[in-house]
Amino acid sequence: MAAYQANMDELQQLGVSVLGGTVEDRETAAGMAGELGLSFPIAYGVTPDSVESLAPWWTKDERHGRYLQPMEFLLRRGVVLGSMYASGPIGRMDVEEATAFIRNRERRKRPAVTAICESHV
């Protein structure tokens, strides 16, 4: 999420909105947002029911119990232009890749991507 924040000026110039999400409670999410200096909204309290339609990837281990793996989406007015599901810390959607994708769509005269949504634990 910090990489998206670091590129916020460029994202805004492209007409992109960023939204994060977490299973953590409000206080924990606010602490993380403050620690990382995030200026975009972070949805907190993500539940299994609230993400079920996104076909989430759940993991279970002895140390953490059952937990949600990251999901990332490039959306435009309800249409998924791209998505990334991770089963660990590798495979996250890179902000440079996302902006390159958006610029390419713009060059081809297609409507710009208006939202990037992330779900991280």
Condensed to tens digits (0 to 9), the pLDDT of residues 33-89 reads 999 999 999 999 988 888 888 888 888 889 888 888 888 888 877 778 888 888 776
Residue 103 has pLDDT above 90, yes or no: no
DSSP classification of residue 79 = E
pTM > 0.75:
no
Do 40 and 19 touch, CB atoms closer than 8 A?
A: yes
Count of the separate structural domains present in the chain: 1
Residue 31 has pLDDT above 90, yes or no: yes
Query: CB 35: neighbour CB atoms within 10 A?
Result: 9
Q: How many helices (H) and strands (E) does the chain have?
A: 5, 7
Domain of residue 97, residue span? 2-119
Measured between alpha carbons, how far is 30 from 91 in angstroms, rounded to an integer?
Answer: 25
Do 120 and 28 touch, CB atoms closer than 8 A?
A: no
According to the model, what pLDDT value does residue 78 have? 75
Do 107 and 8 touch, CB atoms closer than 8 A?
A: no
Helix (H, G, I), strand (E, B) or coil at 74: strand
